Amino acid sequence: MNILLTIHHNLSRNAGAPGVTVKIAEALRARGHTVQVLSHDDVRGVGDIACSILFPWFVLAHVIAHPEYDVLDMSAGDGWVINLARRVLGWRRRQLSVTRSHGMEPVVHEMFLEACRSGNMAKSWKYSLYHGGLRLWECTKSFQWADVAMLLNDTECAFAVSKLNLGEGRVVQIDNGIDETFTSIARKALSDAGRQTAVPLNLAFIGRANYWKGISTLVTAATVLFERNHDITLTLFGTGEPVEQTLARFPESTRERITAVPAFDNAALPELLARCHVLTFPSIYEGFPLSPLEAMACGLVPVVSDIGGLRAYVRNGDNGVIVPPGDPAALSDAVQALLDDPARWAVLQRRARETALEYGWARVADRFELLYKSHLRRATRVVA
């Protein structure tokens, strides 16, 4: 197949949506497909907002010049012009047009408004002009006018069907993947049958120290855990703020057992997590976060919020523990149960590593290929 992938960012292997795009392109090329990636790097001489506004038209011009594509896999907002032309004019019907979520903007918009109503977030007057206005409209129409909406979790899929009125046959839940660096660690650990069971003591948190990542829930839960257990530690990775600011969130009496790492290179994450045993991940919303999967590959048992992006691969009592979002008591109790039962922790650890192996990029590319082919066949039958 000849495939176009678009992403409305500059490309970077270490950034979320751009990194996913680069890696799925590489995995599909390894399977013999021709893949072109179009990004903001290809648009020269304009500022960030202008580039975002002009990018869908740039994608249209590129597609007009390249009729050879079989699949147009465009991130939300990038393909609304193309999808409108296809829907109204019947243009390029033999091509498959896919709108892919990297965190579905209409869902995030509704959650943001709810957070503003509850006082957890503040909305700038500028928000309604672009992100909550034009950009939201572009993303919504990209999904509604595409042949297929590729979404990251069950929350997004339900929203697309109930709120955007997409038929279930046009909604597909997809996965992201993790690098071979992590899957090889999981594979080696699983083959090492003689490895002794550790005693879980050291907790980890990965993500920015903000509302969406559940930082206040973590602080309250960790404070309780420190009171109950005098030998545990907590390390926060990638907080995005000065160390002093992170430590100030916690009671002074607990700070000597807390380490904050404002930023890190993802390639160094296995080494950073080597001493950790339990991942605390109390997010309010996620699309399809990779850091819990990477931590699972490294041997951490995840204790995560009951939200769509984490239900995609964490199964309660099988490869981790799921707790209600925004519930520090449930989070602390779930972590405490693992600290008190190393044998159960070890069983979950093994299953967590086995799960991580299912999300190597080669396996994810298999699923993308099957999806493209099945919907291409359907589109061809409709045209015929």
Q: What is the pLDDT of residues 306-343, one digit of tens each?
A: 999 999 999 999 999 999 999 999 999 999 999 999 99
Q: Do 37 and 157 fall within a single domain?
A: yes
Q: Give the neighbor-by-neighbor strand order of the sheet with 34-39.
A: 34-39, 2-7, 71-75, 96-100, 148-151, 171-173
Q: Do 84 and 224 fall within a single domain?
A: no
Mean pLDDT of the 85-104 span: 91
Q: Is the pLDDT of residue 61 over 50?
A: yes
Q: Do 112 and 60 fall within a single domain?
A: yes
Most distant pair of Cα atoms in the chain: their distance? 72
How far apart are the C-alpha atoms of 102 and 287, rounded to whole Å? Answer: 7
How far apart are the C-alpha atoms of 203 and 280, rounded to whole Å? Answer: 7
Angle, helices 16-30/361-383, rounded to nearest 10 degrees: 80
| DSSP-assigned letters across all residues of 79-140 | SHHHHHHHHHH-TTTTSEEEEE-SS-HHHHHHHHHHHHHTTSS---TTTTTIIIIIHHHHHH
Domain count across the chain: 2
**Residue 129: predicted pLDDT:** 86
Q: Do 270 and 373 fall within a single domain?
A: no
Q: Do 90 and 235 fall within a single domain?
A: no
Q: Do 117 and 223 fall within a single domain?
A: no
What CATH number is associated with residue 137? 3.40.50.2000
How far apart are the C-alpha atoms of 205 and 280, rounded to whole Å? Answer: 5
Burial class of residue 358, CB neighbours in 10 A (0-12, 13-18, 19+): middle
Q: Do 119 and 267 fall within a single domain?
A: no
Q: Do 171 and 186 fall within a single domain?
A: no
Q: Is the pLDDT of residue 381 over 90?
A: no
How far apart are the C-alpha atoms of 305 and 16, rounded to whole Å? Answer: 20
How far apart are the C-alpha atoms of 325 and 327, rounded to whole Å? Answer: 6
**Residue 194: predicted pLDDT:** 57
Q: Give the structural domain span for 25.
A: 2-177+361-383
Q: Do 221 and 321 fall within a single domain?
A: yes
Closest CA to 73 of 110, 39, 98, 49: 98
> Among all chains, which residue has been given the structure tokens 């001493």?
275
Residues 6+ apart with CB under 8 A from 260: 235, 236, 239, 243, 246, 247
Q: Do 258 and 367 fall within a single domain?
A: no
Q: What is the pLDDT of residues 234-280, one digit of tens each?
A: 999 999 999 999 999 999 999 999 999 999 998 899 999 999 999 99
Q: Is the pLDDT of residue 209 over 80?
A: yes
Q: What is the pLDDT of residues 105-130, one digit of tens each?
A: 999 999 999 999 999 999 998 898 88
E strand map for the chain: 2-7, 34-39, 71-75, 96-100, 148-151, 171-173, 202-206, 233-237, 258-261, 278-281, 301-305, 321-323
Q: Do 259 and 351 fall within a single domain?
A: yes
> Among all chains, which residue has been given the structure tokens 């995005």?
240
pLDDT-based confidence at 384, cuts 50/70/90? very low
Q: Do 287 and 166 fall within a single domain?
A: no
